Amino acid sequence: MTQTKGTLYRGREGMWSWVGHRITGVGIFFFLLVHVLDTSLVRVSPEAYDAVIGAYKNPIMIVGEIGLVGAIVFHAFNGLRIILVDFWSQGTRYHRQMLWAVMGLWVITMIGFTVRHLMLFLDGWGGF
């Protein structure tokens, strides 16, 4: 058995997946916080709720929605990879390959979602 120098993550792909996992987790938390707050407005003032929801219906929010889904998808796939690294005896051996699998699945999922999301958005605006 060969011994590796340094840690599993420092400066390598694993470190960047660790950073990405924390950033996406914090971003998802803040989205959920805002979502609960703006949804609770419906009980306080339906007019205020309608105003907030109306503010969300602009083209800039399309980019935000795509970013949110990208964060959720990465966080989910990377979370499964972390579970495998932690609980599978061969996890540390294959962590790099699993990270590239996560990235590949993320790209495929995001291409499909982005195309479909933009089609729905453009259809709502009268098509192409």
The CATH number covering residue 47 comes to 1.20.1300
The parent domain of residue 51 ranges over 14-124
5 in a domain, yes or no? no
pLDDT value at 128 more than 60 = no
pLDDT at 106: 98
7 in a domain, yes or no? no
Long-range contact list for 62-69, CB < 8 A, 24+ apart?
62/117, 62/118, 62/121, 65/117, 66/110, 66/113, 66/114, 66/117, 68/27, 68/28, 68/31, 69/110, 69/113, 69/117
pLDDT value at 26 more than 80 = yes
* Confidence band of 127 (pLDDT split at 50, 70, 90): low
1 in a domain, yes or no? no
Q: Tell which wins on pLDDT, 21 or 1.
A: 21
Average pLDDT of span 109-121: 94
65 in a domain, yes or no? yes
4 in a domain, yes or no? no
* Confidence band of 122 (pLDDT split at 50, 70, 90): confident
pLDDT at 89: 92
Give residue 57's region: left, alpha or beta (phi > 0; psi -120 to 50): beta
pLDDT at 103: 96
